[in-house]
Amino acid sequence: MTRLRAALIGCGRIGIKKHIEAFAANSDKIELVTVCDIVKEKAERAADEYKKRCGLWVVGSTKDKKTVSAQRTTYNQQRILKPQVITDYSELLDKDIDFVTIATESGNHYRIAMDFLSARKHVLVEKPMALSTDHMDEMISLAKEKHLKLGVCFQNRFNPPIQELRKKIESGAFGKIFNATARILWNRNKDYYKQSSWRGTWAMDGGTLMNQCSHNIDLLQWTLGGDIEEIYAVTKNFNHKYIEAEDFGAAILKFKNGSVGIIEGTANVYPRNLEETLSVFGESGTVIIGGLAVNKIQTWRFPGEDSHPFMNLPDPETVYGNGHITLFADFANSIVHDKKPYITGEDGKKAVEIILGIYKSVKEKRPVKFPIEFSTEEMIGFKF
Ligand SMILES: NC(=O)c1ccc[n+]([C@@H]2O[C@H](COP(=O)([O-])OP(=O)(O)OC[C@H]3O[C@@H](n4cnc5c(N)ncnc54)[C@H](O)[C@@H]3O)[C@@H](O)[C@H]2O)c1
């Protein structure tokens, strides 16, 4: 089978950890031909990491992927070349590649995605896909106009407990879903913000709701479904005076279908990450999925069911979980078979629009009606 040719743009924390892991795990379907970072050493490190990891994965096998047989390793090493290293992504625009993944700071996603879509490349972009409703709309319409795939990395949708919940929602097992709560109780300290100066700024990021909480906000809206009617929110910067944006947020979301969503997100939990939990309450079902990062079923109640085999799943190594591997495979599949990726641009927009609605509500000190037009840049200079 011919492999798709891909490039990674941005080789920082998530790029080197999760994109490289996912490219290596899918090296039977995707050839990572180029890695790009404005800091050359980071791109070099990512290229080396990819080569190293490819030695650990068995091309073409879905079973027992960590087995390193001498024969297979030799085969891998013949087929998998070290990716080319570049520092300026514009060199790639007229090159023979099928798609890029974008893992740069959030405030750059829009510009880079638009450049690659304009150059007729499919784009898989990290969350949040952009920081303004206008930018997200432009990305979605350019992808549509050029018949290209635009996917967004909300990889937690692939967590096995979340997939189990999804089956119950789609089968109607909950009856009417009344309300759901997304809680993200984590810790981000000064070192984290000092590592990358864009974090916590309105121009390039947003606060904990945009950066840490957007996954669970996505799961909340996916679970309750449909359009938002109105949002009311309070945010604070309790404990991170050296960043511009919030480190705590609480919001109530009224959906047009009558259900209510509650969000509680914080980066202040002493002394370390505690939990990321999604609780769903319906007429004939109650589900709570918790653990470090929505990876463990805690409560599972439906008529005749009072537990689930996924109640004792271990916490993942990091809060990023393992969903990027499946997400990359799905995105490649969507290109090869010309179908929608599991998480489209339209899907990716929903959580960001909710977070922008929260910011707008906080700025205007009142509930805001949806749909909205807003951007994190409109928060510059905001005083908590
Ligand atoms: N899906 C997830 O679970 C998850 C987890 C963490 C971060 N993220 C998202 O990933 C993105 C990156 O976050 P991070 O923590 O890895 O940041 P980071 O600062 O560690 O990495 C960003 C990298 O992009 C590079 N870069 C910036 N501009 C570039 C350009 N024009 N061309 C090439 N490289 C460029 C920087 O040099 C840096 O190495 C953010 O949008 C963040 O929200 C997603």
Q: What is the pLDDT of residue 65?
A: 44
For 112-133, the pLDDT digits (tens) are 999 999 999 999 999 999 999 9
Tokens of 292: 């470090």
Q: What is the pLDDT of residue 122?
A: 98
Q: What is the pLDDT of residue 73?
A: 43
Is the residue at 192 inside a domain?
A: yes
pLDDT of residue 58 exceeding 50, the answer is no
pLDDT of residue 62 exceeding 50, the answer is no
CATH number of the domain encompassing residue 189: 3.30.360.10
Burial bucket for residue 191 (CB in 10 Å: 0-12, 13-18, 19+):
exposed
Q: What is the pLDDT of residue 312?
A: 83
Please state the domain count of the chain: 2
pLDDT of residue 63 exceeding 60, the answer is no
Q: Is the minimum distance from the CB of 36 to ligand 1 under 6 angstroms?
A: yes
Q: Is the domain of 78 the same as that of 205?
A: no
Average pLDDT over residues 66-75: 42
Q: What is the pLDDT of residue 1?
A: 63
Pairing of strands 30-36, 4-9: parallel
Q: Tell me how far apart the alpha carbons of residues 34 and 89 are, in angstroms, rounded to a whole number.
A: 10
- DSSP at 267: S
Beta bridge partners of 99: 6, 122
Q: Tell me how far apart the alpha carbons of residues 382 and 379 are, in angstroms, rounded to a whole number.
A: 5
Domain containing residue 240:
157-316+349-379
Query: Ligand 1 atom 3: the closest Cα is on which residue?
Result: 320
Share of the chain above pLDDT 70, in %: 93
Q: How far is the CA of 190 from the centre of ligand 1 (A)?
A: 18
Q: Tell me how far apart the alpha carbons of residues 278 and 372 are, in angstroms, rounded to a whole number.
A: 25
Is the residue at 312 inside a domain?
A: yes
Q: Is the minimum distance from the CB of 13 to ligand 1 under 6 angstroms?
A: yes
- DSSP at 268: B
Q: How far is the CA of 377 from the centre of ligand 1 (A)?
A: 19
Q: Is the minimum distance from the CB of 206 to ligand 1 under 6 angstroms?
A: no
Q: Is 133 helix (H, G, I), strand (E, B) or coil?
A: helix
| Strand boundaries in the chain, DSSP class E | 4-9, 30-36, 84-86, 99-102, 122-126, 150-153, 177-185, 228-236, 248-255, 260-266, 275-282, 285-290, 296-301, 368-369
Q: Is the minimum distance from the CB of 125 to ligand 1 under 6 angstroms?
A: no
Residue 93 pLDDT class (50, 70, 90 cuts): very high
For 168-186, the pLDDT digits (tens) are 999 999 999 999 999 999 9
Q: What is the pLDDT of residue 56?
A: 58
Q: Is the minimum distance from the CB of 23 to ligand 1 under 6 angstroms?
A: no
Q: Is the domain of 226 the same as that of 363?
A: yes
Q: Is the minimum distance from the CB of 278 to ligand 1 under 6 angstroms?
A: no
Residue 17 CB neighbours (<10 A): 17
Q: How far is the CA of 177 from the centre of ligand 1 (A)?
A: 36
Q: Is the minimum distance from the CB of 315 to ligand 1 under 6 angstroms?
A: no
Q: Is the domain of 207 the same as that of 234?
A: yes
Is the residue at 384 inside a domain?
A: no
Q: Tell me how far apart the alpha carbons of residues 310 and 380 are, in angstroms, rounded to a whole number.
A: 43
Q: Is the domain of 72 the same as that of 200?
A: no
Q: Tell me how far apart the alpha carbons of residues 210 and 266 are, in angstroms, rounded to a whole number.
A: 11
326-348: string of b/e by CB count within 10 Å (b at 16+)?
Answer: bbbbbbbebbeeeeebbbbbebb
CATH number of the domain encompassing residue 134: 3.40.50.720
Which of residues 229 and 317 earns the better pLDDT score?
A: 229
**In sequence order, what are the residues at sequence separation of 6 or more whose Cβ sits closer than 8 angstroms to the Cβ of residue 33?**
5, 6, 7, 83, 84, 97
Residue 301 pLDDT class (50, 70, 90 cuts): very high
Which of residues 92 and 55 earns the better pLDDT score?
A: 92
Average pLDDT over residues 150-161: 97
Query: Ligand 1 atom 18: the closest Cα is on which residue?
Result: 12
- Which residue type, as a one-letter code, is found at position 90? S
Residue 79 pLDDT class (50, 70, 90 cuts): low
Average pLDDT over residues 272-292: 97
Q: Is the minimum distance from the CB of 126 to ligand 1 under 6 angstroms?
A: yes
Give residue 331's Cα distance to chain centre.
Answer: 13
- Please identify, by atom number, the ligand 1 atom nearest to the C-alpha of residue 15: 16
Q: Is the domain of 163 the same as that of 148?
A: no
Residue 195 pLDDT class (50, 70, 90 cuts): very high
pLDDT of residue 279 exceeding 70, the answer is yes
pLDDT of residue 6 exceeding 50, the answer is yes
